[in-house]
Structure 1
Amino acid sequence: MSEQLDILIFGAHADDAEIGMAGTIAKHTAMGYRVGICDLTYAEMSSNGTVETRKEEAEQAAQLLGLTVRTNLGLPDRGLFVTPSHIERITAEIRKYKPRIVFAPYWQDRHPDHIACSALIQEAVFNAKLRKYLPESDPVNVENMYFYFINDVYEADFIVNVTDYYETKKAALSAYRSQFITGQGSVATPLNQGYIERVVARDHLLGQKRMLPYAEGFVSKLPMVVDRFD
């Protein structure tokens, strides 16, 4: 029987979740939260690296972040579409791990797979609670769903102070050597032309708004609930 998660993060490719929220992941696993990542594809269309390389890098990043579980649905890279079969696969993953909180990529991004992933997760989170949808498994009502940024940053609804865990984020990103570091036989892509440095600058600028060294931003489609103002 699978272990129930507190947080389940979806990405189209291994490294998506790390780019957007590795600091937040590390912060929560350090506090004892059970956190998992589900990558939808093996990123087989990547210009650099191989599927096997990407699997090894994803596992290394998972260990650095203290994940409870990391899975991959093996859906087609550059073939993600809002189809019944894709929604079913993702819904089954949500029902398997019963997370209280789900994260998905923000719905605007330069990469079409990130946009498709966002739409798919929203559909699956909704369907997961329907008793008559895939009735062979029990419905799951996700308490909260939030969105993280990958390539393109928009206005955040809230930020998480990740200063104490930022070195872990950089280590997790550096695990993806095939993507972020130019090596023998690699070709130039936006990812290996100073991408990690730009992510660090982004998170530093976001934290600066609240006098924090580093922060990661998130969006909620629903109003945030506040019990009191401190």
Structure 2
Amino acid sequence: MRTILVFCAHSDDEAIGMAGTIAKYVSEKVKVIKVVFSSGEKSSPHLREDYVKKERSKETDKACNFIGICDNINLGLKDAMLKTEINKSFVEKRVKELIMLNRPEKIFIPSAKDPHPDHRAVNRSVMGVVNSMKKHYSVYAYEVWNIIDETHPQIYVDISEFMNKKMEYIRMFKSQWVYMFTLYFPAWIRAFYYGRKNNSKYAERFYKLK
């Protein structure tokens, strides 16, 4: 079965960057596996971390079921500390295991140009693992907070048929609405702009890294 792996620092990153593409893959009967590095427990500082962790887990499972992600894996690293947490010995081993087990035709990771340090940390971690492996894997970067273009080849995916599903998927991360609201309308504008560049109504952009 065709499979793609989507690596995220937080459980809602891919909602902004590539939810339309995920929905498109699901419609084509492609198996989508999501791997989240942190539990996101520090995302709501006014609430207890254990409560936030539990709520984010529940809403993520619900959102994944909605869009059709078949497996949602969380590595449980500490939120906002991925730059150091990601160096734990089991992380590289687990990432490598997931890649070897699922043999994805494509791997998606956050962009190295993303201003969020956790997103860049995930990019470095996964690329380090992929580059150490003998088998070639195709790796693509998606955008979350990006304001700077990368120099890698750009690929656009027509998501016109799935734009409404993308926006509904974003809205399902209710515990993160303060942050998601900041990105909600820019995500729509970006998809519209990329659609114009792709001769479609809406599109998402990716960078081919490998």
- The reply to whether TM is greater than 0.5 is yes
> CA separation in 1, counterparts of 2:29 and 2:119?
29
Cα distance 1:166–1:159, how it changes in 2: closer, same or farther (>3 A)? same
**Aligned letter for 2:144?**
I
User: What does residue 83 of structure 1 align with?
Assistant: 87
Equivalent of 2:116 in 111, 114, 118: 111
Instruction: String of CA shifts for 1:91-117, please: whole Å, max 9, x gaps.
Output: 222223222211100101121000101
Measure, in 1, the Cα distance between the counterparts of 2:81 and 2:100. 23
SS in 2 for 1:52: helix
**Structure 2 length as normaliser, TM-score?**
0.87
Structure 1 position 57 matched with structure 2 position 55: no
| Aligned partners of 1:98 and 1:142 also within 8 Å | no
Q: Percent identity?
A: 29
SS, match of residue 23 in structure 1: helix
Q: Aligned with 2:80: secondary structure?
A: coil
Determine which structure has more spread, i.e. the larger CA radius of gyration. 1
* Higher mean C-alpha displacement, 54-63 vs 95-104: 95-104
Q: Match for 1:57: what amino acid?
A: E
The alignment's TM-score, normalised by the length of structure 1, stands at: 0.80
Per-residue displacement from partner, 1:131-188 (whole Å, max 9, x unpaired)? xxxxxxxxxx3531111001114256110000101111111111101112xxxxxxxx
Q: Is the 8 A contact 2:159 2:204 kept in 1?
A: yes
More helix, by proportion: 2
User: In angstroms, what is the RMSD of aligned CA positions?
Assistant: 1.9
Report runs of 4+ in structure 1 exceeding 3 Å deviation.
none
Q: Equivalent residue of 1:102, what SS?
A: strand
Matching of residues 122-201 of structure 1 within 5 Å: 122-127=127-132, 129-130=133-134, 141-153=135-147, 154=149, 157-180=154-177, 189=178, 191-201=179-189
Q: Unpaired runs of 5+ in structure 2?
A: none
Q: Paired residue for 2:107?
A: 102
Gaps spanning 5+ residues in structure 1: where? 131-140, 181-188, 223-230
Question: Within the alignment, does 1:208 sit opposite 2:202 as a pair?
Answer: no
User: Structure 1 residues 37, 193: CA separation in 2 closer, same or farther (over 3 Å shift)?
Assistant: closer
Q: 1:193–1:173: structure 2 CA closer, same or farther, 3 Å change rule?
A: closer
State how many pairs are aligned.
199
Distance 1:126 1:146, change over 3 A: same
SS at match of 1:25: helix
